[in-house]
Structure 1
Amino acid sequence: MNIILSNANLSASINPKGAELVSLKDNKGTEYMWEGNPEFWGKHSPVLFPIVGTLKDNSYTYNDKSYTLSRHGFARDMVFTVKEQLDDSATFSLVANAETKEKYPFDFELQLKYTLIANRLHIDYIVNNNGSEVMPFSIGAHPAFALQGNFEEYSLQFEKDEQLVSTQLQNDLLSATEVPVALHDEKLPLQYDLFENDALVFKKIESKYININKNNTPFLRVSFPDFPHLGLWTKPNAPFLCIEPWQGYADSTTSNGNLYKKEGVIVLEKSTKIKKGFSIEIL
């Protein structure tokens, strides 16, 4: 059963499977999250842990043993425990177990905390290393926002008028090819051909928030002050856009399988934790 949060301005629905946000509505009933139609993409807002993107050969080596991890990791497909629930906030927890250790041999706890504050939903990712070894991981968000009508009526407005460079994907891995993505007065007009080679992957980004505009009028903001990388993604003719704050990204085509040396990885000391948050604000 989904967990429902509400305040005077918003309501949110979270599925304990994956602790996934499946709905975010304003007090007029307008839905802002993608419906999850499997004809295009059957998810809404999965958490990416303990990796972001794809590993080379879907595998890595730890202590001379090879492990298999599928794209974006396993947390999105596992049932979380509801650790705390209030009217306007809830915390979900996933703790390492025999199943996770077959893929990722570390003692972790991953918490997702959702909090409604006025017209904003804030999501914290809290990762605890409960083990006796340093723990390498990446983590990221993958929220998909519903875009009704003509896709080309929409644009993204970045906090800064910066020079963006997207690293091209090759068979789900990062290649050596980089493509400039031009902004015009901080704006990126949306067109499906931007995504003809899959996601746009920004290893470096100065902006810490992005607005979604329709006909140049902003209606939603994603703020990601704790995340250094970003992905943008949709599918051909799909009525949604994913704005994905990341810590980490896919392996490169030349990666050697050492998770500790992976670009963008966090190496968390034993008996410590880290928190990274982002928010979705209805404007």
Structure 2
Amino acid sequence: MNTEIHKIKNDLAEVEIYGSAMKSLKIFKDSREYNVLGFDEQKHAFSFIMAPWVNRIKDGKFSCPKGDFDLSGSNPFGIPHPIHGTVLTANWKVIHKSSHSISISTDLRSPWPYSGSVLSKVSLNDNSIKQELIIKNEDEHIMPFSMGWHPWFNRKIGSAELSLIFNGNYLWKANEQIPNSEKIRPPLLDQAVRGFSPKPGTLDDCYRIADNSSVSLCWPELTLEMNSSQECGHLVIYTPPEPLADLICVEPQTSTVNCFQLHEKSVSDTGILFVEPDHDYSIFTEWVWV
């Protein structure tokens, strides 16, 4: 993983890109500076890209048109299941950079069995930041995939903790952090429509959100609204315990956890996507603050 830092900025914000991750997003408002993102490299707390899969793949087992494969070699956190794809620890190359935007790319790599690449574009536009991911299939076979972002937000940027607002259809019920096929609607989803502030160490869950709906992070000092492409129909919320209890992850992504195996079992609405050979597929998330 390359660790060069690139900065982009405009009159209302400044972003530091660390490798492919966002190290900081500093918002300038009312003569104050608010950094909404947390960063702790030693504890893997930095806002990274997930591709060509998001979150965990149970036991690394991956069946696809090319055959049966083991993805266990991609496990930078040393947990029981390979996690967050292959690009997290990859080296990225700068394709284009201006004062307010940057484009970087990397190749898909082992243990992923398909040839291809991922392009990340980040741009500041007035009071918003847009992040786009473009995955290209350079293989002979159709490629299943999922993608998303794993931002770590500061619970506080000033006087009090943030609250979250989102419109969730259901929660993927999980056993040891791996969803089964059951979809439930817990009382929390009724709270989420009005706004709630989850406590540290209480959530590590994947929700199916309403199509084309936004997700709001509300601090007393400002509100940040996430608007993502329709493919990003899933949201993971992770509230880590100490020593990272001052952070919260709110992760827009295309699929649920373990989407490949669930799809193989004919479970509906997993969010798995496919891209044809010699084609690409793009998604985006745009964050606007007021």
Q: TM-score, normalized by length of structure 1?
A: 0.84
1 CA distance for matches of 2:147 and 2:246?
Answer: 26
The 1:163/1:257 distance shift into structure 2, 3 A limit, reads closer
Counterpart residue type for residue 144 of structure 1: W
CA distance in structure 1 between the aligned counterparts of 2:99 and 2:266, rounded to whole angstroms: 40
Aligned mate of 1:78, from 83, 90, 104: 90
Query: How much identity, in percent, do the aligned residues show?
Result: 17
In structure 2, what is the Cα distance between the partners aligned to 1:259 and 1:133? Answer: 21
Deviation >4 Å, runs of 4+: 149-153, 256-262
Partner of 1:123: 131
Gaps of 5+ in 1: none
Change (3 A) 1:8 1:57: same
Over the residues paired in the alignment, what is the CA RMSD in angstroms? 2.9
1:156–1:212: 8 Å Cα contact kept in structure 2?
A: yes
Distance 2:159 2:240 in 1: 12
What residue number does 1:36 align with? Answer: 40
Task: Indicate how the Cα distance of structure 1 residues 9 and 72 shifts in structure 2: closer, same or farther if over 3 A, else same.
Answer: same
After superposition, residues 36-185 of structure 1 pair within 5 angstroms as 36=40, 38=42, 41-62=43-64, 63-69=66-72, 70-96=82-108, 100=109, 102-148=110-156, 153-158=161-166, 162=167, 164-175=169-180, 176=182, 178-180=184-186, 181-184=188-191
1:167-188 Cα distance to aligned partner (Å, 9 max, x none): 2322221033624223358323
Closer, same or farther in 2 for the Cα pair 1:126/1:261, shift >3 Å? farther
Confirm whether residue 208 of structure 1 aligns to residue 216 of structure 2.
Answer: no
Shift of 1:260: 10
Distance (Å, rounded) in 2 between the aligned partners of 1:259 and 1:140: 23
**TM-score, with length taken from structure 2:** 0.82
- Aligned-pair CA distance for 1:163: 5.7
Structure 2 unaligned segments of length 5 or more: list them. Answer: 73-81
SS in structure 2 opposite 1:34?
A: coil
CA separation in 1, counterparts of 2:229 and 2:144?
Answer: 21
Quick one: which amino acid aligns to residue 38 of structure 2?
Answer: W
Distance 2:289 2:169 in 1: 25
